[in-house]
Chain A
Amino acid sequence: MGFLTYLINGLSLGSIYAIIALGYTMVYGIAKMLNFAHGDVIMIGSYAVFMTMANSGLPAVVSIIIAIVICTALGVIIEKIAYKPLRKATNLAVLITAIGVSYFLQNMALLIFGSNPIVFKSVINWKGITVAGLTISGITIITIVTCIIIMLVLTWFVKNTKPGQAMRAVSEDKDAASLMGINVNATISLTFAIGSGLAAIAGALYCSAYPTLTPYTGSMPGIKAFTAAVFGGIGSIPGALIGGLLLGVIEILGKAYISSQLSDAIVFIVLIIVLLVKPAGILGKTIHEKV
């Protein structure tokens, strides 16, 4: 009984990690960069939903669509200004710029929205279902379903559409892709647009589950989702879902059965063990080195 409750709690938390990890893994898979600002785009998305829904009284679906538009635009602008000039520089340079962007978004939000936390109004009013005394909340079910839908759509998109195939080509080899007539810059911009749009959805769901919103809301889930993405094999879209769910379950079970003080340490220890056994994550491809 206790165990099942913990397991469901773990899945709730994990589904949130998973939906953030999807955006992370998408950008990493194509552009090969760790976008540390992803968590902060999520925060902006949450504020956008809050502003349009709670303050302007728009229905949830409309406000999420507005947030998606805002985040997509934001993602494309960030990519154009901060990342594109460094496309040919070392990966580390882009990583550092991403950190600069992350600070920028946090401090911008601090100036606009202030430091006081806001209690987010849930976009989902469904209480959930109860089976044999165990309640699975509506937000958990909807998050998991959303994750699966996004995962399927993304997989289909990358496999079967022209822009998707261009993305895969860019991911394999940028130079070869451009020789094949693929517009590498446009493709990477598209990747950022999709990743940031997903961040808006993730933000709405994240803040519905854990309803305090501050300018720093995005940073920790960002790191956790990064961990989840690595867990599942960074770059792998189904891996993000599996990694996210596993991370959530491990965190909750660790807290419940080992030590609530050391829950962060437990999560990271499990991560290290997984990576030592499967050095590219659970579903990651091991790239063989050319001699």
Chain B
Amino acid sequence: MKLLKNVTAPTQKLIRTVAAVVLVYILMEILIAAGCISSLIQGLLVPVCTYSIAAVALNLCVGYLGELSLGHAGFMCLGAFASAYFSKLTADTIPDVPRFILALIIGTAVAALFGFLIAIPVLRLKGDYLAIVTLAFGEIIKNVMNVIYVGKDSVGLHFSMKDQLSLGMSVDGKMIINGAQGITGTPRQSTFTVGVVLLILALIITSNFVNSRTGRAVKAIRDNRIAAETVGLPVSKYKLIAFTLSAAIAGVAGVLYSHSLNSLTATTNNFGYNMSIMILVYVVLGGIGNFSGGIIATTVLLLLPELLRGMADYRMLIYSIVLIALMIFNWSPDVQKWKAVNGLTLDGIKARFSKNKEVQ
């Protein structure tokens, strides 16, 4: 504890969050080894990491940059396809571990590059207009991904945006990206360990970023752009940096996603506006600007529909009701007042417990 006192408050918070993640990781590993965890929960570990990273990425954009993005699934899509393409192409030539690391770098870089290119026009807009343009970019990415055909044969790589036949491959040709059928047979290397390591990395990077000089400038721009401009901050540059970083981290989530499934396709469900909105739900429910809250909200909302499987036909209906109820419970000023009056806030509960201790 003494050690903690020497570091700044944000770092303390980061250390606590990372420690909590590591603790959960160790606990889960022990329980898995003990055979206590169902296959369903085991199967959900990697998705939880994936979408937690995505939530961290979007939180950076929404919470610190202060801009609503409805296109982050598009960046995930780019990261997923770029890395899966690389992994599939080099599946026979590069050994597993370096290949995954290279795929990770490529996926992140591609997402970052597009994030950068998209940010240039997008960040000139404001509010809901910015949101709709990011949504538009997400949809464009998804649509274009569905018409890309890449094949490989003895001659080399073939590329087309029309159909498989216009590739003109010889008989020994193998499809790498097959239009709407996407990429099949990506090596599955996203384990829980990899997911947790990447999540912790994402947390450290974002936390350091938001507390760095650049990050403080970004927050200043969010709170008052005109004041920030007046004191001479290069507003566009800082916004660009933050948005690119956010896209890059979303790309990491994409890499994790594509390497956890054997079949990668770009549909409305996984990379369309639906998913962008779902990631936003995780962020808002967890608390805008609160990274650890986002991770908890992601975990809850990913597990909820799975744990409701017993409800059969009513599953998604109950899920939607719970979502509405959670939002009202968590955000409504009236409910918050009610909680404060009844001492149901964290402080209230703490106070109650400490009183008990004193009595004892």
Query: What residues make up the interface of A, taking CB atoms closer than 8 Å to B?
Result: 28, 34, 36, 81-82, 85-86, 88-90, 92-93, 95-97, 99-101, 103-104, 106-108, 110-111, 223, 226-227, 230, 234, 261-262, 264-265, 268-269, 271-272, 275-276, 279-281, 289, 291
Q: Are B333 and A88 in contact (CB under 8 A)?
A: yes
Q: Are A86 and B331 in contact (CB under 8 A)?
A: yes
Residues of A within 8 A of B132 (CB): 226-227, 230, 271, 275
Q: Are B137 and A272 in contact (CB under 8 A)?
A: yes
Q: Are B328 and A268 in contact (CB under 8 A)?
A: no
Q: Are B140 and A82 in contact (CB under 8 A)?
A: no
Q: Are A227 and B319 in contact (CB under 8 A)?
A: no
User: What residue in chain B is nearest A104 (Cβ atoms)?
Assistant: B320
Minimal beta-carbon separation of A282 from chain B (angstroms): 12
Q: Once the chains are docked, how many angstroms separate the CA of A141 from the CA of B106?
A: 52
- Residue B125 at the chain A interface, CB threshold 8 Å: yes
Q: Are B137 and A103 in contact (CB under 8 A)?
A: no
- Residue B32 at the chain A interface, CB threshold 8 Å: no
Q: Once the chains are docked, how many angstroms separate the CA of A289 from the CA of B317?
A: 42
Q: Are B143 and A264 in contact (CB under 8 A)?
A: yes
Residues of A within 8 A of B147 (CB): 261-262
Q: Are A93 and B284 in contact (CB under 8 A)?
A: yes
Residue-wise, chain B 313-349 has the 8 Å CB interface mask toward A (1 for contact) of 1101101110110011011111100000000000000
Residues of A within 8 A of B357 (CB): none
Give me 24 A-to-B residue pairs in the complex whose CB atoms sit less than 8 angstroms apart, sorted by A's number: A85-B328, A85-B335, A86-B327, A93-B331, A95-B280, A101-B320, A104-B321, A104-B324, A106-B316, A107-B317, A107-B320, A108-B317, A261-B161, A262-B143, A262-B147, A264-B143, A265-B144, A268-B139, A268-B140, A269-B140, A271-B136, A275-B125, A275-B129, A279-B126
Minimal beta-carbon separation of B209 from chain A (angstroms): 22
Q: Once the chains are docked, how many angstroms separate the CA of A86 from the CA of B333?
A: 7
- Residue B133 at the chain A interface, CB threshold 8 Å: yes
Q: Are A86 and B328 in contact (CB under 8 A)?
A: yes
B128 in complex: contacting residue of A34, A93, A107, CB < 8 Å? A34
User: What residue in chain A is nearest B277 (Cβ atoms)?
Assistant: A99
8 further interface pairs, Cβ-Cβ under 8 Å (given A92-B288, A275-B133, A280-B129): A89-B331, A100-B327, A108-B317, A223-B135, A268-B140, A268-B143, A271-B132, A291-B226
B323 in complex: contacting residue of A36, A103, A106, A280, CB < 8 Å? A103
Say yes or no: A107-B316 contact (C-beta < 8 A), given A227-B136, A275-B125, A276-B121: yes
Residues of B within 8 A of A99 (CB): 277, 281, 323
- Residue B213 at the chain A interface, CB threshold 8 Å: no
Q: Once the chains are docked, how many angstroms separate the CA of A149 from the CA of B273?
A: 33
Q: Once the chains are docked, how many angstroms separate the CA of A170 from the CA of B129?
A: 21
Residues of B within 8 A of A93 (CB): 284, 327, 330-331
Q: Are A111 and B137 in contact (CB under 8 A)?
A: no
- Residue B124 at the chain A interface, CB threshold 8 Å: yes
Minimal beta-carbon separation of B66 from chain A (angstroms): 11
B334 in complex: contacting residue of A85, A92, A107, A262, CB < 8 Å? A85
A92 in complex: contacting residue of B68, B313, B333, CB < 8 Å? B68
- Residue B62 at the chain A interface, CB threshold 8 Å: yes
Q: Are A279 and B143 in contact (CB under 8 A)?
A: no
Minimal beta-carbon separation of B19 from chain A (angstroms): 29
Residues of A within 8 A of B319 (CB): 103
Residues of B within 8 A of A107 (CB): 316-317, 320
Say yes or no: A89-B333 contact (C-beta < 8 A), given A99-B281, A103-B323, A268-B137: yes
Q: Are A111 and B288 in contact (CB under 8 A)?
A: no
Minimal beta-carbon separation of B173 from chain A (angstroms): 21
Say yes or no: A111-B331 contact (C-beta < 8 A), given A96-B281, A280-B129: no
Q: Are A100 and B137 in contact (CB under 8 A)?
A: no
Residues of B within 8 A of A104 (CB): 317, 320-321, 324
Q: Are B324 and A264 in contact (CB under 8 A)?
A: no
Residue-wise, chain B 190-209 has the 8 Å CB interface mask toward A (1 for contact) of 00000000000000000000
User: What residue in chain A is nearest B121 (Cβ atoms)?
Assistant: A276
Q: Once the chains are docked, how many angstroms separate the CA of A227 from the CA of B286?
A: 28
Q: Are A279 and B144 in contact (CB under 8 A)?
A: no
Minimal beta-carbon separation of B235 from chain A (angstroms): 13
Say yes or no: A97-B327 contact (C-beta < 8 A), given A271-B132, A276-B124: yes
Q: Are B284 and A82 in contact (CB under 8 A)?
A: no
Q: Once the chains are docked, how many angstroms separate the CA of A226 from the CA of B70?
A: 13
Q: Are A90 and B320 in contact (CB under 8 A)?
A: no
Minimal beta-carbon separation of A76 from chain B (angstroms): 16
Minimal beta-carbon separation of A221 from chain B (angstroms): 13
Residues of B within 8 A of A272 (CB): 121, 133, 136-137
User: What residue in chain A is nearest B332 (Cβ atoms)?
Assistant: A85
Q: Once the chains are docked, how many angstroms separate the CA of A88 from the CA of B136?
A: 29
Minimal beta-carbon separation of B83 from chain A (angstroms): 22
Q: Once the chains are docked, how many angstroms separate the CA of A114 from the CA of B80?
A: 35
Q: Are B124 and A92 in contact (CB under 8 A)?
A: no
Q: Once the chains are docked, how many angstroms separate the CA of A100 from the CA of B322?
A: 9
Residues of B within 8 A of A111 (CB): 313-314, 317
Q: Once the chains are docked, how many angstroms separate the CA of A166 from the CA of B162?
A: 54
Q: Which of B217-231 contact A (CB under 8 A)?
A: 226
- Residue B285 at the chain A interface, CB threshold 8 Å: yes
User: What residue in chain A is nearest B132 (Cβ atoms)?
Assistant: A230
User: What residue in chain A is nearest B283 (Cβ atoms)?
Assistant: A92
Q: Once the chains are docked, how many angstroms separate the CA of A103 from the CA of B139?
A: 20
Minimal beta-carbon separation of B210 from chain A (angstroms): 19
Q: Once the chains are docked, how many angstroms separate the CA of A108 from the CA of B314?
A: 9
Q: Once the chains are docked, how many angstroms separate the CA of A89 from the CA of B284?
A: 12
Q: Are A90 and B331 in contact (CB under 8 A)?
A: yes
Residues of A within 8 A of B129 (CB): 230, 234, 275, 279-281
Q: Which of B275-292 contact A (CB under 8 A)?
A: 277, 280-281, 284-285, 288
